[in-house]
Amino acid sequence: MTARRTPWPGDPADDESTTPVPEPDPGADASALRARLAEAVDASDAPDVVFAVSRHGLRTLHRGGTAPPPAVPREDLRYEIGSASKTFTGLLLTRLIRDGVLTGGEPAAGCLDPGRPPGPAPVTLAHLITHTSGLPALPADFVRRALPAWRTNPYARYPAARLTETFLRHRPRHRPGTRWHYSNYGVSVLGHAVAAVTGTAWEDLLTGHVLRPLGLGGTALRAEDAKTDATGHGKDGRTPVPPFDAGGFQAAGAVRSTPHDLLTFLEAHLDPAGSPAAGALRSVRVPVLRRGLGHRHVHTVAWFRHPTDGGPMYFHSGATLGQQAFLGFRPDTGTALAAVCTRRFRARDPFIATAYALLAQDEAPA
């Protein structure tokens, strides 16, 4: 599958033009939205579920679940968002590029092993974040090493040193930049490469350039308190699973956050004005890659981008062994949606489809 690259964030004309967002109708009936959120929570069939919507900054939230309510309100717990963490990683990289710290064209191997010759077709940071590096979804030896903890914490058995060592020995099957293949491996390598070339730990980079500037005090990269970190469950919706340990895959899936922090993160994308990350927030909405038949699949640095009648919607989902998340926003309606639940994904799971449909519906929540 070939991929066509469009301008990279930081290129001279990368900022998406802004279409005026219609003002909300003061007389709109919010009960319809509350009813839709209640239906979405019920349909998700998980121990703990939160659907949170912001429209023009006005938030509406519904929580529930099949388990008894926890001691801490569900909307105040921190949830594992899995691969939706890549939206934080994409924003961080874009901010470093716009600030002149990086260009995106740095060979990842050279960042990890200074002095290494780049070769004729190196894998760059841009290739890694856009899933065009030629790397597989996971390292070749991941399953073998993770198997003893497959049902508990498989990623924890694959540390950072092993991941970067494997990458430095890997030879891509395809020339970087020519094919799109979703890769947790690639985005994880990106995190270690950026940390190495800047001399700053990944957690400190994310905190300093994304979490703190956006005021995301309820967001972290690891479980810290059993009382405030949501407990995940297996496919049966009853069996608790341990907190997710991302091992060497932090940049691809380690973020855990509260529903309110996730809405704050999404609201910043809808209205970047005044944010210290304003330029990067605008840039991550710009398409950088088109693929598939007729190049109909569009991607930005951080988001999947689908069309609606009113304009594009941006989204990313994620899952760990016991939790799921969906993040999305629509500039045409000023709407952001954050949804989380504490049940492992299973066949025909309704959660992601329900969240996507809620954001994509022709008449946005009013």
Tell me what pLDDT residue 340 has.
98
* Residue 20 scores a pLDDT above 50: no
* Residue 176 scores a pLDDT above 50: yes
At 350, the pLDDT band (50, 70, 90 cuts) reads very high
* Residue 168 scores a pLDDT above 60: yes
At 30, the pLDDT band (50, 70, 90 cuts) reads confident
Most confident of 29-43, 113-127, 185-199: 185-199
At 16, the pLDDT band (50, 70, 90 cuts) reads very low
Average pLDDT on 163-169 reads 97
* Residue 43 scores a pLDDT above 70: yes
Predicted confidence (pLDDT) per residue in 270-311, tens digit: 999 999 999 999 999 999 999 988 778 899 999 999 999 999
SS (H, E, C) the chain: CEEEECCCECECCCCCCCCCCCCCCCCCCHHHHHHHHHHHHHHHCCCCEEEEEEECCEEEEEEECCCCCCCCCHHHCEEECHHHHHHHHHHHHHHHHHCCCCCCCCEHHHHHCCCCCCCCCCCEHHHHHCCCCCCCCCCCCHHHHHHHHCCCCHHHHCCHHHHHHHHHHCCCCCCCCCECCCCHHHHHHHHHHHHHHHCCCHHHHHHHHHHCCCCCCCCECCCCCCCCECCEECCCCCCEECCCCCCCCHHHHCCEECHHHHHHHHHHHHCCCCCCCHHHHHHCCCCCEEECHHHCEEECCCCEEEECCCCEEEEEEEECCCCEEEEEEECCCCEEEEEEECCCCCCCCCHHHHHHHHHHCCCCCC
Tell me what pLDDT residue 9 has.
53
Predicted confidence (pLDDT) per residue in 94-147, tens digit: 999 999 999 999 999 999 999 899 888 999 999 999 999 999 999 999 999 999
At 231, the pLDDT band (50, 70, 90 cuts) reads very high
Tell me what pLDDT residue 227 has.
93
As a whole number, the mean pLDDT across the chain is 91
Ranges 26-40, 79-93, 212-226: which has the least confidence: 26-40
Tell me what pLDDT residue 356 has.
97
Tell me what pLDDT residue 294 has.
77
